[in-house]
Structure 1
Amino acid sequence: MARIGGRNRWIAVPAALLCAAVVGSLVWLSLPMVPVTIAWVGDTLRKATAPQPEATPAEIPARIAADGGAVDCRTIYGDDLWNELLWRPGSLLNQTMAPPPTAATAFADAATPEVVVTCAWRFDAGGIVTTLSKVDAAAASVAAAALGGEGFSCEESPAATVCSRTRAGVREEHTVRDGLWLSSVETRWHPEDYGARLDHEVWG
């Protein structure tokens, strides 16, 4: 059998033994890390498959407001909607205790809202004013009739009354639930599912 040129058996054999010794040493040195690695992989898999904890009732803005706690504009917006509003061109937020600027004055007068917070957003094109108020529990029972009489489309359920109306570029959305009234007036710009996203954040 012909020998491969440039290959010296006297060098190749010791080199192979040296490589094997190095690999064996590395394996021996890594043995103490095997249990740690197995534990890390197990923890990672458990965390990835474990259900994520939901907010407790005490953390929900509706519960905080009902209990008389402090609620501000940042509290009632989820991160995605907050960022969408914040990065709108010309975005400027003014937090006040002003009453809801709704055109449904008859319902506003009947509900006698106790304002928790009003978030007035102004943009280069349009604006949005959202108000969270405390109202009498009976307000939910008259909301659909009062708002429906002013051209709002309403949906009633045992949990809430939700009404909306779009007229001349102004969209109003109202949710009355659990002694709270969430009112939004959107002018010229209407973020997708604005009212539903707010409802989800406020009531969970």
Structure 2
Amino acid sequence: MARVGGRNAAFAWVVGLGCLAILGVLAALAVPMIPASVAWFGGAVENAQGTAPTSAPVAAAGDDEPTALPTECPELYDEALWATMRFSRGAVLTPSKDAPVTTATALVTALSPQVQLTCFWHADEGTVSTTLATVPPDAGAIAAAALPASGFGCETEGERTRCTRTDGDLTETIEAGGGLWLSTSEDAWHPAGYVSRTGDRIWG
């Protein structure tokens, strides 16, 4: 039988193999989406049947806005700052309920902060320690009156008082307001915006 003009067996094989390769690549790219697709489909079915959860979701650790007072260290940070701290060279986080790291020991004694959590970071650059606690409602006014004699400069920001002291590589910050205390001691390591960003997590 005569061959049909224009047909080339070798070319057809090459085209066929190319098509198979493309299909293989598309299949490989689609596999990771299968679990997400199944979860989405399941959620859609639940919504249609009226069986989907009705309670509001709780924000996960590291989200940009906390839903309540932090109870664990990751909740004290926005996502970008958390990543900065975690991935700094040699960074190790030690959570505890230890007393605040500060030279203002007389103020700590007077206010007796009830520590909720202390997040102590050690990295190659230095250390950062932050303590969240509850204090009397007038703690901000007491801090503003007492701390300037110890070299702190104090200012009011919204509902809280912020007092800061720098001595060489050491920077200390104590914030109090609304019955809350947030103090930070940065020794040689000064992450950008650390104090303001952790403060915003507490007071907004």
CA contact (8 A) 1:136 1:179 kept: yes
Give, in angstroms, the shift of residue 152 of structure 1.
0.6
**Correspondence list, 1:47-66, <5 A:** 64-65=68-69
User: CA offsets per residue over residues 109-146 of structure 1, 9 Å max, x none?
Assistant: 11100000000000012010000000011211111111
1:146 paired with 2:146, answer yes
Q: Which residue of 2 aligns with 1:22?
A: none
- 4+ aligned runs moved over 2 Å, structure 1: none
Structure 2: gaps of 5 or more residues: 1-58
CA distance in 1, matches of 2:168, 2:86: 25
**Correspondence list, 1:50-199, <5 A:** 64-65=68-69, 71-157=71-157, 159-199=159-199
CA contact (8 A) 2:71 2:116 kept: yes
User: CA offsets per residue over residues 20-40 of structure 1, 9 Å max, x none?
Assistant: xxxxxxxxxxxxxxxxxxxxx
Give, in angstroms, the shift of residue 192 of structure 1.
1.8
- Indicate the structure (1 or 2) with the bigger Cα radius of gyration: 1
Instruction: Give SS of 1:64's match.
Output: coil
Pair 1:153–1:136, CA change in 2 (3 A): same
Paired residue type of 1:110: A
CA distance in 1, matches of 2:99, 2:126: 19
> Aligned pairs, how many?
142
Paired residue type of 2:125: A
CA contact (8 A) 1:60 1:203 kept: no
Compute the TM-score of the two structures, normalised by the length of structure 2: 0.65
Pair 1:157–1:124, CA change in 2 (3 A): closer
Paired residue type of 1:75: E
Instruction: Give SS of 2:176's match.
Output: strand
Paired residue type of 1:83: A
CA distance in 2, matches of 1:201, 1:82: 12
Paired residue type of 1:137: P
Give, in angstroms, the shift of residue 157 of structure 1.
4.7
User: CA offsets per residue over residues 36-81 of structure 1, 9 Å max, x none?
Assistant: xxxxxxxxxxxxxxxxxxx8xxx965x734xxxx611011111111
State percent identity of aligned pairs.
Answer: 37
CA distance in 1, matches of 2:188, 2:166: 10
Paired residue type of 1:176: A
Paired residue type of 2:99: P
Give, in angstroms, the shift of residue 147 of structure 1.
1.3
CA contact (8 A) 2:140 2:176 kept: yes
Q: Which residue of 2 aligns with 1:4?
A: none
Compute the TM-score of the two structures, normalised by the length of structure 1: 0.65
CA contact (8 A) 2:138 2:177 kept: no
Paired residue type of 1:124: D
Q: Which residue of 1 aligns with 2:56?
A: none
Superposition RMSD in Å:
1.8
CA contact (8 A) 1:73 1:95 kept: yes
Give, in angstroms, the shift of residue 158 of structure 1.
5.5
Give, in angstroms, the shift of residue 174 of structure 1.
1.3
Instruction: Give SS of 2:68's match.
Output: helix
CA distance in 1, matches of 2:93, 2:157: 33
